[in-house]
Structure 1
Amino acid sequence: MNTQKSLLQSSETERFQNLYHVLNRDTVSADLLKTCYADSIMFCDPFHEIQGIDALTDYFTAMYSNVNHIDFIFTNCWHQTERSMLRWTMNFRHPRLRHGDLISVEGCSELRWENDRIVYHRDFFDAGAMLYENIPLFGWAIRKLKERM
C-alpha cells in the first residue's frame, strides 16, 4: 500500500510538471488547469492569494499574457503522504523587465493533494529577484544595495 501511494504521488507530480511545461499564453484555460487543480484550489505566491479555479485561471491568463516566454525547469521533488515539494527554476522574458532579456528565478512549490487534485499550492521565491531588481532605476538601486551588504 505504501508503495502504491508513493507511485500515485509520483504520477501526480509528473502531471503537475507536465502542466507547467505546456502552460503558456495560448494554452491557459480552466480545463487545462483542472487536469491538476481542484475547483476549490487555494493558490498563494509572494504577490497574491487566490481562491478557486476561475480566479486562478484569470490570474494565469493575465500573467502569461504579459510574458514573451516562460518555462520551468524542475530540479528536485519530495513527497510525504498527501504533500509534495518541488524545486524549480523559472526562466521568463517580459518586455518591460531588463529590456526583455531572460530572467531566471529559483523557487519551490508546496502542494497538497486530495482525490488526485491539488487543493493548496504555495510558491516560495524571491520577489525582488523576479520583479523589483529588474525594473529600470529601481532595480539598479536594489542591486547596488545588495552589492554593499
Structure 2
Amino acid sequence: MKYDVTRENSTPMPLWLSNFVKIYQTLSTDNLELLATIYHREVTFIDPIHELKGFDNLFQYFQDLYENLVSCDFVISNVIAQEDQAAIYWTMSYQHPKLNKGNVINVTGSSYIKGYEDKVIYHRDYLDLGSMLYEQLPVLGKLIKLIKNKAAN
C-alpha cells in the first residue's frame, strides 16, 4: 500500500515533502523528468555506493540506474517529519535480469532528507547493500549469506 500524504489525523506535510513522497511512489523509467520537480539544483545525494552533488549528476545517476532495470518501485511505509527535514522508511522492489535469476528483489531502507526552497536539497539513503546487490550475485551471494549466518550464531 502506498503512503497516503493526506491521511486523516496526521500533521500536514510541508509541500516539498508531500511532493517527494508522491513522486517517489510513482517513479519509473518513463517519468524520470519528475525528479526535477522534487530535487533542488544544488542537491547532495548519498547512498552506500555514491556521493553526488548537483541535480544534473543525480539525474544522470537515475538514468543509468533505471536503464538496466526491468522494474523498480518504492513503497513508503512511514514518514517522520519536522519543518525542513524528514526520515522516510521504505521498501524498494526491483528486478534486474542479471540479479536473483531475474526475480524481484525487496530491500528495506530509510532516507534522511532536508528541504530547501520547496525541494529536497539533501538526500541520504541507508540500506543493506549486501541484500540489495552482493547477495543477489550467484557465487558471491552464497558466500555472503554463509558469513552472515556464521556471524549470527
- Both proteins in one fold, TM over 0.5: yes
What residue in structure 2 maps to residue 67 of structure 1? Answer: 69
Looking at structure 2, the residues matched to 68 and 147 of structure 1 have their Cα atoms a distance apart, in angstroms, of: 30
Aligned-partner Cα distance in 2 for 1:35–1:121 = 15
Aligned to 1:3: none
Cα distance in 1 between the residues matched to 2:148 and 2:13: 43
User: 2:98 is matched with which residue?
Assistant: 96
Instruction: Trace 1:57-136 onto structure 2 (pairs within 5 A).
Output: 57-136=59-138
Aligned residue-pair number = 141
Residue type of the alignment partner of 2:12 = L
CA distance in 1, matches of 2:130, 2:58: 23
Alpha-carbon distance between aligned partners in 2 of 1:15 and 1:99, rounded to the nearest angstrom = 34
**What is aligned with 2:12?**
7
State percent identity of aligned pairs. 35
Deviation beyond 3 Å, 4+ runs, structure 1 = none
Mapping of residues 45-60 of structure 1, within 5 Å:
45-60=47-62
Cα drift, residue 142 of structure 1: 0.6
What's the offset of the Cα at 1:12? Answer: 2.9
For residue 49 of structure 2, what is the amino acid of its counterpart? F
Q: Describe the SS at the equivalent of 1:96.
A: coil
State whether structure 2 residue 58 is matched by structure 1 residue 18: no
Give the Cα–Cα distance (whole angstroms) in 2 for the partners of residues 18 and 80 of structure 1.
Answer: 18
CA RMSD, aligned part only?
1.2
Match of residue 6 from structure 2: none
CA displacement at 1:13 relative to structure 2: 2.4
TM-score normalised according to structure 1 size: 0.89
**Structure 1 residue 8 displacement after superposition:** 4.6
TM superposition shift of 1:134: 0.5
Name the CA distance, whole Å, in 2 between partners of 1:133 and 1:99.
12
1:28 Cα offset (Å)? 1.3
> What is the one-letter code of the residue matched to 1:100?
G
The SS at the match of 1:35 is helix
Unmatched 5+ residue regions in structure 2?
1-10
Give deviations 1:12-33, integer Å, cap 9, x for gaps. Answer: 322112211222112212xx11
Are the counterparts in 1 of residues 29 and 67 from structure 2 also a CA contact under 8 Å? yes
